[in-house]
Amino acid sequence: MMRPRIIPVIITAAVSASIFFGGWAIYNQVAVAAPLEEAVKEIEGVVSAKKPIMNSEQVTVELELSTDANVRTIYETIAANGKDVFGDRKLELEIKSNPSKQLDELWYASLFKVAEAMEKKSYSDIPNAMNEAAKAYEDVTVLTEMDETNVYITIKDSLSAKYVVLPRTPVQLEVWSNA
């Protein structure tokens, strides 16, 4: 009986694995991520977009938005256009911006109330908290929107905009031990 040689078997396994995984990585970048990146760049309000980063749980898209962008519409457009690519993975937008000091101060001033509203799932308190905080600043507008997955907050002044996307956690049904 002939014994297989160890070195040729190891080399064959290594070459096969590198071809398989290398081919998958090239396919993922060329056939999946690149077309998605181009589609994202064409959405109204998107100034620039980097190639999406995809793993087994989520797809992260890094964006730079114009000051007149509607972040909810952009999110919904990416989610609709990328449904075949994402599958069941969660879409996460990483929005790069340079908000003015005034916008950052407004956000941090309202952060406790917004965090409390998110924790209590009383989402209708968020617009009130943001508008109340905005009263202390001149020429600042606040837009809050919501869909089934996220809460979107846009804070604008005459020079810049700050975009915040807060993920909603769905209400989970619990099993009662005494039921």
pLDDT of residue 152: 96
Is the predicted pLDDT of residue 154 greater than 90, yes or no? yes
Least confident piece of the model among 16-30, 58-72, 143-157:
16-30
Task: Report whether 154 contacts 143 (CB < 8 A).
Answer: yes
pLDDT of residue 178: 46
**Mean pLDDT of the 77-99 span:** 86
**Average pLDDT of every residue of the chain:** 85
Residue type present at position 121 = K
Instruction: Return the closest-CA partner of residue 97 out of 20, 136, 177, 154.
Output: 154
| H-helix or E-strand spanning residue 75 | helix 71-81
DSSP 88: T
